[in-house]
Structure 1
Amino acid sequence: MTEHRPLAPVRQVAAHELVVDQLRRSLNQGQFRPGDRLPSERELAEMLQVSRTTVRSAAAVLESEGRLSVRRGRGGGFTVLEPDHDSPATRREIRANRRAIRDLFDLRLVVETGAVALAALRRTDEELIALEHRLGRMQQVIREERRRPSTSLVREFQALDNGFHLALASCSRNEHLVEQVAAARQAMWTPVGSVFRHLESNANDLHADILDAVRAGESDAAAALMSEHITATRTTLESWLDRT
Protein backbone atom coordinates (compact mmCIF):
# COMPACT_ATOMS: atom_id res chain seq x y z
CA MET A 1 0.00 0.00 0.00
CA THR A 2 1.43 3.37 -1.01
CA GLU A 3 2.00 5.75 1.89
CA HIS A 4 0.77 9.27 1.21
CA ARG A 5 2.56 11.96 3.18
CA PRO A 6 1.04 15.43 3.55
CA LEU A 7 4.45 17.09 3.23
CA ALA A 8 7.48 16.45 1.05
CA PRO A 9 11.05 17.74 1.01
CA VAL A 10 11.43 21.16 -0.57
CA ARG A 11 13.83 21.38 -3.49
CA GLN A 12 15.42 24.71 -4.26
CA VAL A 13 15.10 25.54 -7.95
CA ALA A 14 17.66 27.72 -9.68
CA ALA A 15 16.27 30.72 -11.54
CA HIS A 16 17.61 29.50 -14.88
CA GLU A 17 15.66 26.22 -14.47
CA LEU A 18 12.44 28.22 -14.16
CA VAL A 19 13.35 30.14 -17.31
CA VAL A 20 14.10 26.87 -19.12
CA ASP A 21 10.67 25.55 -18.11
CA GLN A 22 8.92 28.67 -19.43
CA LEU A 23 10.81 28.71 -22.71
CA ARG A 24 10.45 24.96 -23.22
CA ARG A 25 6.71 25.26 -22.63
CA SER A 26 6.48 28.02 -25.24
CA LEU A 27 8.43 25.91 -27.73
CA ASN A 28 6.40 22.78 -27.05
CA GLN A 29 3.10 24.62 -27.43
CA GLY A 30 4.19 26.03 -30.78
CA GLN A 31 4.27 29.66 -29.69
CA PHE A 32 7.71 29.78 -31.32
CA ARG A 33 8.30 27.53 -34.32
CA PRO A 34 11.50 26.30 -36.01
CA GLY A 35 13.23 29.22 -37.70
CA ASP A 36 11.69 31.82 -35.40
CA ARG A 37 13.96 34.12 -33.42
CA LEU A 38 13.27 34.55 -29.74
CA PRO A 39 13.33 38.01 -28.17
CA SER A 40 16.86 39.23 -27.48
CA GLU A 41 18.74 38.35 -24.32
CA ARG A 42 18.03 41.80 -22.90
CA GLU A 43 14.33 41.61 -23.83
CA LEU A 44 13.93 38.15 -22.30
CA ALA A 45 15.64 39.31 -19.11
CA GLU A 46 13.21 42.23 -18.86
CA MET A 47 10.16 40.12 -19.70
CA LEU A 48 11.03 37.41 -17.18
CA GLN A 49 12.46 39.76 -14.54
CA VAL A 50 15.75 37.87 -14.30
CA SER A 51 19.38 38.70 -15.02
CA ARG A 52 20.90 38.35 -18.47
CA THR A 53 23.26 35.74 -16.99
CA THR A 54 20.21 33.66 -16.04
CA VAL A 55 18.86 33.96 -19.59
CA ARG A 56 22.22 32.86 -21.01
CA SER A 57 22.29 29.83 -18.70
CA ALA A 58 18.77 28.84 -19.74
CA ALA A 59 19.60 29.27 -23.42
CA ALA A 60 22.66 27.04 -22.98
CA VAL A 61 20.45 24.26 -21.60
CA LEU A 62 18.05 24.50 -24.55
CA GLU A 63 21.00 24.65 -26.94
CA SER A 64 22.36 21.40 -25.45
CA GLU A 65 18.93 19.83 -26.01
CA GLY A 66 19.03 20.85 -29.67
CA ARG A 67 16.10 23.24 -29.28
CA LEU A 68 17.92 26.54 -29.85
CA SER A 69 20.79 27.87 -31.91
CA VAL A 70 22.70 30.46 -29.90
CA ARG A 71 24.88 33.03 -31.67
CA ARG A 72 26.85 35.69 -29.86
CA GLY A 73 27.75 39.18 -30.95
CA ARG A 74 26.25 41.52 -33.52
CA GLY A 75 23.52 39.83 -35.52
CA GLY A 76 23.37 36.97 -33.05
CA GLY A 77 20.54 35.78 -30.88
CA PHE A 78 18.41 32.72 -30.20
CA THR A 79 16.88 30.82 -33.12
CA VAL A 80 14.43 27.95 -32.66
CA LEU A 81 15.60 24.66 -34.19
CA GLU A 82 13.56 21.76 -35.50
CA PRO A 83 13.79 18.94 -32.92
CA ASP A 84 15.44 15.80 -34.25
CA HIS A 85 12.49 13.47 -33.77
CA ASP A 86 14.31 10.65 -35.60
CA SER A 87 17.38 10.64 -33.38
CA PRO A 88 18.09 7.47 -31.38
CA ALA A 89 18.25 9.60 -28.22
CA THR A 90 14.74 10.94 -28.80
CA ARG A 91 13.36 7.48 -29.46
CA ARG A 92 15.05 6.10 -26.34
CA GLU A 93 13.62 8.94 -24.26
CA ILE A 94 10.10 8.31 -25.53
CA ARG A 95 10.33 4.55 -24.95
CA ALA A 96 11.73 5.11 -21.45
CA ASN A 97 8.76 7.32 -20.65
CA ARG A 98 6.08 5.05 -22.09
CA ARG A 99 4.28 4.68 -18.77
CA ALA A 100 4.27 8.45 -18.29
CA ILE A 101 2.85 8.90 -21.80
CA ARG A 102 0.02 6.50 -20.99
CA ASP A 103 -0.68 8.43 -17.80
CA LEU A 104 -0.82 11.67 -19.79
CA PHE A 105 -3.37 10.19 -22.17
CA ASP A 106 -5.44 9.10 -19.15
CA LEU A 107 -5.23 12.66 -17.85
CA ARG A 108 -6.25 14.10 -21.21
CA LEU A 109 -9.23 11.76 -21.41
CA VAL A 110 -10.47 13.00 -18.06
CA VAL A 111 -9.78 16.72 -18.27
CA GLU A 112 -10.34 17.42 -21.98
CA THR A 113 -13.64 15.57 -22.15
CA GLY A 114 -14.81 17.41 -19.05
CA ALA A 115 -13.58 20.74 -20.38
CA VAL A 116 -15.27 20.37 -23.76
CA ALA A 117 -18.54 19.29 -22.11
CA LEU A 118 -18.52 22.54 -20.14
CA ALA A 119 -17.44 24.47 -23.23
CA ALA A 120 -20.57 23.30 -25.05
CA LEU A 121 -22.65 24.91 -22.30
CA ARG A 122 -20.59 28.04 -21.64
CA ARG A 123 -18.98 29.15 -24.92
CA THR A 124 -19.79 32.54 -26.42
CA ASP A 125 -20.56 33.39 -30.03
CA GLU A 126 -17.28 35.30 -30.24
CA GLU A 127 -15.36 32.24 -29.07
CA LEU A 128 -17.14 30.10 -31.65
CA ILE A 129 -16.11 32.48 -34.41
CA ALA A 130 -12.47 32.38 -33.25
CA LEU A 131 -12.53 28.57 -33.14
CA GLU A 132 -14.03 28.42 -36.63
CA HIS A 133 -11.29 30.71 -37.98
CA ARG A 134 -8.61 28.52 -36.40
CA LEU A 135 -10.23 25.39 -37.80
CA GLY A 136 -10.32 26.97 -41.25
CA ARG A 137 -6.61 27.72 -41.12
CA MET A 138 -5.90 24.16 -39.98
CA GLN A 139 -7.78 22.84 -43.00
CA GLN A 140 -5.84 25.18 -45.27
CA VAL A 141 -2.55 23.92 -43.83
CA ILE A 142 -3.63 20.32 -44.48
CA ARG A 143 -4.33 21.12 -48.15
CA GLU A 144 -1.00 22.90 -48.53
CA GLU A 145 0.95 20.09 -46.87
CA ARG A 146 -0.78 17.46 -49.01
CA ARG A 147 0.29 19.34 -52.14
CA ARG A 148 3.75 20.20 -50.89
CA PRO A 149 4.94 18.03 -47.99
CA SER A 150 6.70 20.23 -45.48
CA THR A 151 7.86 19.75 -41.91
CA SER A 152 7.19 23.42 -41.18
CA LEU A 153 3.56 23.01 -42.26
CA VAL A 154 3.17 19.94 -40.03
CA ARG A 155 4.56 21.94 -37.11
CA GLU A 156 2.23 24.83 -37.93
CA PHE A 157 -0.72 22.44 -37.89
CA GLN A 158 0.39 21.01 -34.55
CA ALA A 159 0.67 24.51 -33.09
CA LEU A 160 -2.81 25.38 -34.40
CA ASP A 161 -4.13 22.07 -33.07
CA ASN A 162 -2.69 22.83 -29.66
CA GLY A 163 -4.27 26.28 -29.72
CA PHE A 164 -7.62 24.79 -30.76
CA HIS A 165 -7.66 22.44 -27.77
CA LEU A 166 -6.58 25.18 -25.37
CA ALA A 167 -9.23 27.54 -26.76
CA LEU A 168 -11.88 24.87 -26.24
CA ALA A 169 -10.67 24.39 -22.68
CA SER A 170 -10.84 28.15 -22.10
CA CYS A 171 -14.51 28.08 -23.09
CA SER A 172 -15.13 25.93 -20.00
CA ARG A 173 -14.56 29.02 -17.81
CA ASN A 174 -12.50 26.84 -15.46
CA GLU A 175 -8.89 27.94 -15.01
CA HIS A 176 -7.89 24.68 -13.32
CA LEU A 177 -9.05 22.65 -16.33
CA VAL A 178 -7.20 24.99 -18.69
CA GLU A 179 -3.98 24.58 -16.69
CA GLN A 180 -4.29 20.78 -16.70
CA VAL A 181 -5.01 20.64 -20.43
CA ALA A 182 -2.04 22.91 -21.17
CA ALA A 183 0.33 20.89 -18.96
CA ALA A 184 -0.68 17.54 -20.46
CA ARG A 185 -0.41 18.77 -24.04
CA GLN A 186 2.94 20.45 -23.40
CA ALA A 187 4.36 17.17 -22.09
CA MET A 188 3.05 15.33 -25.17
CA TRP A 189 4.76 17.59 -27.72
CA THR A 190 7.90 15.52 -28.38
CA PRO A 191 6.16 12.10 -28.66
CA VAL A 192 3.44 13.48 -30.93
CA GLY A 193 5.99 15.30 -33.08
CA SER A 194 7.90 12.04 -33.54
CA VAL A 195 4.85 10.15 -34.80
CA PHE A 196 2.92 12.61 -36.93
CA ARG A 197 5.34 13.56 -39.69
CA HIS A 198 2.75 14.18 -42.42
CA LEU A 199 -0.86 15.34 -42.42
CA GLU A 200 -3.65 13.01 -43.48
CA SER A 201 -6.54 14.50 -45.42
CA ASN A 202 -8.93 13.62 -42.57
CA ALA A 203 -6.70 15.06 -39.80
CA ASN A 204 -9.25 17.76 -39.05
CA ASP A 205 -12.48 15.76 -39.27
CA LEU A 206 -12.94 15.08 -35.56
CA HIS A 207 -12.03 18.66 -34.71
CA ALA A 208 -14.87 19.79 -36.96
CA ASP A 209 -17.27 17.29 -35.36
CA ILE A 210 -16.28 18.43 -31.86
CA LEU A 211 -16.85 22.06 -32.81
CA ASP A 212 -20.25 21.20 -34.29
CA ALA A 213 -21.28 19.61 -30.99
CA VAL A 214 -19.99 22.60 -29.00
CA ARG A 215 -21.85 24.96 -31.32
CA ALA A 216 -25.07 22.97 -30.80
CA GLY A 217 -24.63 22.93 -27.01
CA GLU A 218 -24.49 19.11 -26.98
CA SER A 219 -22.14 18.52 -24.07
CA ASP A 220 -22.38 14.70 -24.02
CA ALA A 221 -21.70 14.45 -27.75
CA ALA A 222 -18.78 16.88 -27.50
CA ALA A 223 -17.23 14.82 -24.68
CA ALA A 224 -17.72 11.55 -26.58
CA LEU A 225 -16.10 12.97 -29.72
CA MET A 226 -13.17 14.34 -27.73
CA SER A 227 -12.70 10.91 -26.16
CA GLU A 228 -12.72 9.33 -29.63
CA HIS A 229 -10.17 11.87 -30.85
CA ILE A 230 -7.76 11.39 -27.94
CA THR A 231 -8.10 7.60 -28.09
CA ALA A 232 -7.27 7.60 -31.82
CA THR A 233 -4.12 9.63 -31.15
CA ARG A 234 -3.19 7.28 -28.32
CA THR A 235 -3.63 4.21 -30.54
CA THR A 236 -1.43 5.70 -33.26
CA LEU A 237 1.31 6.63 -30.80
CA GLU A 238 1.29 3.23 -29.08
CA SER A 239 1.49 1.48 -32.47
CA TRP A 240 4.53 3.61 -33.28
CA LEU A 241 6.11 2.70 -29.94
CA ASP A 242 5.54 -1.00 -30.64
CA ARG A 243 7.42 -0.65 -33.94
CA THR A 244 10.43 1.29 -32.60
Structure 2
Amino acid sequence: MSLPEPTFTPVANLTASEAVADVLRRAVAVGAIQPGQRLPPERELAQSLGVARMTLRAAVRTLNDEGLLITSRGRSGGTVVAQDAPPRKGPADSAGKRLVAMVADNMEVRLAVEPLAAALCAARGSRENHAEINALVEEQAASMRHYRLLDSRFHLTIAQASGNSVLVETIERLRTDFFLWADTMFIHLEWEGLPAVVQDFSAEHRDLARAIAARDAARAEELTRRHISAGLVTIEKLLESSVR
Protein backbone atom coordinates (compact mmCIF):
# COMPACT_ATOMS: atom_id res chain seq x y z
CA MET A 1 0.00 0.00 0.00
CA SER A 2 1.42 3.36 -1.03
CA LEU A 3 1.79 6.12 1.52
CA PRO A 4 -0.19 9.34 1.06
CA GLU A 5 1.62 12.27 -0.45
CA PRO A 6 2.80 14.78 2.17
CA THR A 7 0.85 18.02 2.37
CA PHE A 8 2.84 21.21 2.65
CA THR A 9 1.38 24.59 3.53
CA PRO A 10 3.06 27.96 3.11
CA VAL A 11 5.16 29.09 6.06
CA ALA A 12 4.18 32.46 7.48
CA ASN A 13 7.07 34.86 6.86
CA LEU A 14 6.52 37.45 9.56
CA THR A 15 8.68 40.48 10.08
CA ALA A 16 10.00 41.07 13.60
CA SER A 17 7.41 43.78 14.25
CA GLU A 18 4.57 41.53 12.99
CA ALA A 19 5.75 38.77 15.32
CA VAL A 20 5.80 41.20 18.26
CA ALA A 21 2.33 42.48 17.34
CA ASP A 22 1.12 38.86 17.33
CA VAL A 23 2.57 38.29 20.82
CA LEU A 24 0.83 41.40 22.15
CA ARG A 25 -2.49 40.49 20.49
CA ARG A 26 -2.24 37.08 22.10
CA ALA A 27 -1.58 38.58 25.53
CA VAL A 28 -4.64 40.83 25.22
CA ALA A 29 -6.85 38.03 23.86
CA VAL A 30 -6.18 35.70 26.80
CA GLY A 31 -6.36 38.45 29.43
CA ALA A 32 -2.66 38.59 30.34
CA ILE A 33 -2.94 42.32 29.60
CA GLN A 34 -6.38 43.66 30.44
CA PRO A 35 -8.44 46.61 29.15
CA GLY A 36 -7.21 49.87 30.61
CA GLN A 37 -3.91 48.32 31.70
CA ARG A 38 -0.72 50.18 30.83
CA LEU A 39 2.04 48.34 29.01
CA PRO A 40 5.46 48.26 30.67
CA PRO A 41 7.87 51.07 29.72
CA GLU A 42 9.20 50.75 26.18
CA ARG A 43 12.77 49.93 27.18
CA GLU A 44 11.63 47.26 29.67
CA LEU A 45 9.11 45.67 27.29
CA ALA A 46 11.57 45.59 24.37
CA GLN A 47 14.15 43.92 26.60
CA SER A 48 11.59 41.34 27.80
CA LEU A 49 10.64 40.52 24.22
CA GLY A 50 14.25 40.46 23.05
CA VAL A 51 13.72 43.02 20.29
CA ALA A 52 14.95 46.49 19.41
CA ARG A 53 12.87 49.44 20.57
CA MET A 54 12.23 50.45 16.94
CA THR A 55 10.73 46.99 16.31
CA LEU A 56 8.49 47.34 19.34
CA ARG A 57 7.37 50.82 18.23
CA ALA A 58 6.39 49.46 14.81
CA ALA A 59 4.34 46.69 16.44
CA VAL A 60 2.61 49.15 18.77
CA ARG A 61 1.77 51.41 15.80
CA THR A 62 0.12 48.44 14.08
CA LEU A 63 -1.99 47.72 17.15
CA ASN A 64 -2.80 51.42 17.53
CA ASP A 65 -4.14 51.36 13.97
CA GLU A 66 -6.23 48.28 14.81
CA GLY A 67 -7.70 50.03 17.84
CA LEU A 68 -6.36 47.43 20.27
CA LEU A 69 -3.87 49.80 21.93
CA ILE A 70 -3.99 53.54 22.64
CA THR A 71 -0.79 55.54 22.90
CA SER A 72 -0.60 59.04 24.34
CA ARG A 73 2.41 61.36 24.46
CA GLY A 74 3.75 63.61 27.16
CA ARG A 75 5.04 63.18 30.69
CA SER A 76 2.07 61.08 31.79
CA GLY A 77 1.71 59.33 28.44
CA GLY A 78 2.19 55.71 27.55
CA THR A 79 0.42 52.82 25.88
CA VAL A 80 -2.67 51.18 27.33
CA VAL A 81 -5.04 48.44 26.17
CA ALA A 82 -8.23 49.95 24.77
CA GLN A 83 -11.26 49.60 27.03
CA ASP A 84 -13.50 48.57 24.15
CA ALA A 85 -12.88 45.89 21.57
CA PRO A 86 -11.68 47.41 18.27
CA PRO A 87 -14.62 48.02 15.95
CA ARG A 88 -14.68 45.69 13.00
CA LYS A 89 -17.11 45.00 10.23
CA GLY A 90 -19.15 41.85 10.62
CA PRO A 91 -18.39 38.88 8.38
CA ALA A 92 -20.21 38.63 5.08
CA ASP A 93 -20.96 36.05 2.39
CA SER A 94 -18.27 33.41 1.82
CA ALA A 95 -15.82 35.04 4.25
CA GLY A 96 -18.46 34.86 6.98
CA LYS A 97 -19.14 31.21 6.25
CA ARG A 98 -15.42 30.45 6.46
CA LEU A 99 -15.33 32.21 9.82
CA VAL A 100 -18.17 30.01 11.08
CA ALA A 101 -16.27 26.90 9.95
CA MET A 102 -12.97 28.08 11.51
CA VAL A 103 -14.60 28.80 14.87
CA ALA A 104 -16.39 25.43 14.80
CA ASP A 105 -13.08 23.66 14.09
CA ASN A 106 -11.44 25.57 16.93
CA MET A 107 -14.20 24.64 19.39
CA GLU A 108 -14.07 20.98 18.37
CA VAL A 109 -10.35 20.78 19.21
CA ARG A 110 -10.99 22.57 22.50
CA LEU A 111 -13.66 19.96 23.19
CA ALA A 112 -10.95 17.32 22.92
CA VAL A 113 -8.23 18.97 25.00
CA GLU A 114 -9.85 21.18 27.66
CA PRO A 115 -11.72 18.33 29.42
CA LEU A 116 -8.37 16.54 29.76
CA ALA A 117 -6.82 19.67 31.26
CA ALA A 118 -9.66 19.91 33.81
CA ALA A 119 -9.23 16.26 34.80
CA LEU A 120 -5.47 16.69 35.26
CA CYS A 121 -5.99 19.93 37.18
CA ALA A 122 -8.36 18.15 39.59
CA ALA A 123 -5.88 15.32 40.08
CA ARG A 124 -2.60 17.25 40.12
CA GLY A 125 -3.38 20.84 40.99
CA SER A 126 -2.26 22.29 44.31
CA ARG A 127 -4.56 23.81 46.92
CA GLU A 128 -3.31 27.21 45.79
CA ASN A 129 -4.28 26.41 42.18
CA HIS A 130 -7.76 25.33 43.24
CA ALA A 131 -8.20 28.39 45.45
CA GLU A 132 -7.28 30.66 42.54
CA ILE A 133 -9.81 28.91 40.29
CA ASN A 134 -12.56 29.29 42.91
CA ALA A 135 -11.69 32.97 43.39
CA LEU A 136 -12.10 33.59 39.67
CA VAL A 137 -15.55 32.00 39.77
CA GLU A 138 -16.71 34.57 42.30
CA GLU A 139 -15.95 37.51 39.99
CA GLN A 140 -18.79 39.11 38.09
CA ALA A 141 -18.42 40.33 34.52
CA ALA A 142 -19.23 43.98 33.76
CA SER A 143 -19.14 43.72 29.97
CA MET A 144 -18.80 41.18 27.17
CA ARG A 145 -15.08 41.82 26.94
CA HIS A 146 -14.68 41.49 30.70
CA TYR A 147 -16.61 38.19 30.57
CA ARG A 148 -14.38 36.71 27.92
CA LEU A 149 -11.24 37.82 29.77
CA LEU A 150 -12.51 36.12 32.93
CA ASP A 151 -13.30 33.04 30.86
CA SER A 152 -9.79 32.88 29.42
CA ARG A 153 -8.16 33.44 32.82
CA PHE A 154 -10.33 30.67 34.30
CA HIS A 155 -9.58 28.06 31.63
CA LEU A 156 -5.91 28.97 31.29
CA THR A 157 -5.45 28.71 35.07
CA ILE A 158 -6.93 25.21 34.85
CA ALA A 159 -4.58 24.36 31.98
CA GLN A 160 -1.54 25.66 33.87
CA ALA A 161 -2.52 23.66 36.96
CA SER A 162 -2.71 20.49 34.84
CA GLY A 163 1.08 20.33 34.88
CA ASN A 164 1.22 19.59 31.15
CA SER A 165 3.11 22.24 29.20
CA VAL A 166 1.86 20.99 25.80
CA LEU A 167 -1.74 21.35 26.96
CA VAL A 168 -1.05 24.86 28.21
CA GLU A 169 0.48 25.95 24.91
CA THR A 170 -2.28 24.30 22.86
CA ILE A 171 -5.15 25.76 24.88
CA GLU A 172 -3.59 29.21 24.95
CA ARG A 173 -3.21 29.25 21.17
CA LEU A 174 -6.74 27.88 20.59
CA ARG A 175 -8.34 30.45 22.87
CA THR A 176 -6.29 33.29 21.41
CA ASP A 177 -7.34 32.39 17.88
CA PHE A 178 -10.94 31.93 18.94
CA PHE A 179 -11.28 35.33 20.55
CA LEU A 180 -9.51 37.15 17.74
CA TRP A 181 -12.11 35.70 15.38
CA ALA A 182 -15.07 35.98 17.75
CA ASP A 183 -14.48 39.70 18.36
CA THR A 184 -15.99 40.15 14.90
CA MET A 185 -19.24 38.90 16.40
CA PHE A 186 -18.97 40.16 19.99
CA ILE A 187 -18.67 43.79 18.90
CA HIS A 188 -22.31 43.57 17.73
CA LEU A 189 -23.69 42.27 21.04
CA GLU A 190 -25.18 44.67 23.57
CA TRP A 191 -24.18 43.52 27.06
CA GLU A 192 -27.12 45.22 28.76
CA GLY A 193 -29.55 43.40 26.47
CA LEU A 194 -28.29 39.91 27.33
CA PRO A 195 -30.26 37.82 29.85
CA ALA A 196 -28.95 37.91 33.43
CA VAL A 197 -28.19 34.18 33.31
CA VAL A 198 -25.92 34.75 30.30
CA GLN A 199 -24.08 37.59 32.09
CA ASP A 200 -23.53 35.45 35.21
CA PHE A 201 -19.98 34.14 34.92
CA SER A 202 -20.33 32.19 38.18
CA ALA A 203 -23.35 30.22 36.99
CA GLU A 204 -21.42 28.87 34.01
CA HIS A 205 -18.32 27.84 35.96
CA ARG A 206 -19.08 27.26 39.66
CA ASP A 207 -19.86 23.52 39.45
CA LEU A 208 -16.66 22.90 37.50
CA ALA A 209 -14.60 24.80 40.07
CA ARG A 210 -16.17 22.76 42.85
CA ALA A 211 -15.46 19.46 41.09
CA ILE A 212 -11.82 20.48 40.68
CA ALA A 213 -11.54 21.51 44.33
CA ALA A 214 -13.03 18.14 45.33
CA ARG A 215 -10.40 16.43 43.13
CA ASP A 216 -13.16 14.69 41.20
CA ALA A 217 -11.32 14.32 37.90
CA ALA A 218 -14.08 12.42 36.11
CA ARG A 219 -16.74 15.01 36.99
CA ALA A 220 -14.43 17.92 36.13
CA GLU A 221 -13.78 16.34 32.73
CA GLU A 222 -17.48 15.76 32.05
CA LEU A 223 -18.55 19.25 33.17
CA THR A 224 -15.91 20.83 30.93
CA ARG A 225 -17.11 18.74 28.00
CA ARG A 226 -20.71 19.86 28.59
CA HIS A 227 -19.66 23.49 29.01
CA ILE A 228 -17.71 23.62 25.74
CA SER A 229 -20.36 21.61 23.84
CA ALA A 230 -23.04 24.10 24.92
CA GLY A 231 -20.73 26.97 24.02
CA LEU A 232 -20.15 25.51 20.55
CA VAL A 233 -23.88 25.47 19.85
CA THR A 234 -24.35 29.02 21.12
CA ILE A 235 -21.36 30.43 19.23
CA GLU A 236 -22.39 28.77 15.97
CA LYS A 237 -25.88 30.26 16.25
CA LEU A 238 -24.53 33.73 17.01
CA LEU A 239 -22.01 33.59 14.19
CA GLU A 240 -24.54 32.34 11.67
CA SER A 241 -26.89 35.13 12.77
CA SER A 242 -24.08 37.66 12.34
CA VAL A 243 -23.33 36.36 8.85
CA ARG A 244 -26.98 36.66 7.86
Decide: shared fold, TM above 0.5.
Answer: yes
Change beyond 3 A, Cα 1:178–1:209: same
Aligned partners of 2:36 and 2:80 also within 8 Å: yes
Separation of aligned partners in 2, 1:9 and 1:115: 31
Equivalent position of 2:114 in the other structure: 112
Question: Match for residue 148 of structure 1?
Answer: none
Letter in 1 for 2:86: D
Q: Which residue of 1 aligns with 2:221?
A: 223
Q: Bigger shift: 111-120 or 187-196?
A: 187-196
Alignment check: 8 A CA contact 1:116 1:214 kept? yes
Task: Name structure 1 gaps, 5 residues minimum.
Answer: 146-150
Q: For residue 71 of structure 1, report the CA deviation from its aligned partner.
A: 3.3
Cα deviation, residue 9, structure 1: 6.5
Cα-to-partner distance string for 1:55-91 (whole Å, 9 max, x where unaligned): 1110121122221223345443222222235x32x43
Residues 145-201 of structure 1 show CA distances to partners (whole Å, capped at 9, x for unaligned) of: 4xxxxx3xx433322221111111122211101111111111111344434653633
Residue matched to 1:28: 29
For the pair 1:235 / 2:240, whether they are aligned, the reply is no
The alignment's TM-score, normalised by the length of structure 2, stands at 0.82
Secondary structure class of the residue paired with 1:109: helix
What do residues 123-153 of structure 1 show as CA deviations (whole Å, max 9, x unaligned)?
22221112112212x2xx24xx4xxxxx3xx
Once the two structures are superposed, the pairs formed by residues 86-105 of structure 1 within 5 Å of their partners are 87-88=88-89, 90-92=90-92, 95-105=97-107
Match of 1:190 in 2: 180
Question: Mind listing any 5+ residue stretches in structure 2 that lack a counterpart?
Answer: none
What percentage of aligned pairs have identical amino acids? 32
Q: Are the structure 2 counterparts of residues 38 and 157 from structure 1 closer, same or farther at C-alpha, using a change threshold of 3 Å?
A: same
Q: 1:84 to 1:24 in 2, by over 3 A?
A: closer
TM-score, normalised relative to structure 1: 0.82
Distance in 2 separating the partners of 1:160 and 1:96: 27
Distance 1:69 1:178 in 2: 29
Q: Does 2:50 correspond to 1:49?
A: yes
Provide the C-alpha distance between the structure 2 equivalents of 1:161 and 1:235, rounded to a whole number of angstroms.
17
Deviation beyond 6 Å, 4+ runs, structure 1:
none
| Alpha-carbon distance between aligned partners in 2 of 1:155 and 1:235, rounded to the nearest angstrom | 20
Write the distance in 2 (CA, Å) between the matches of 1:63 and 1:96: 27
- Which sits farther off after the overlay, 194-203 or 45-54? 194-203
* Counterparts in 2 of 1:175 and 1:95: CA distance versus 1, 3 Å: same
The secondary structure found in structure 2 opposite 1:34 is coil
Mapped partners of 2:176, 2:46: distance in 1: 23
Residue 216 of structure 1 aligns to which amino acid in structure 2?
Answer: A
1:58 counterpart = 2:56: no
The answer on whether the counterparts of 2:100 and 2:240 sit within 8 Å (CA) in structure 1 is no
Distance 1:69 1:127 in 2: 33
Structure 1 Cα separation of the partners of residues 44 and 239 of structure 2: 40
2:30/2:149 contact within 8 Å kept:
yes
Mapped contact 1:30–1:155 kept (Cα < 8 A): no
**Maintained 8 Å contact 1:122/1:171:** yes
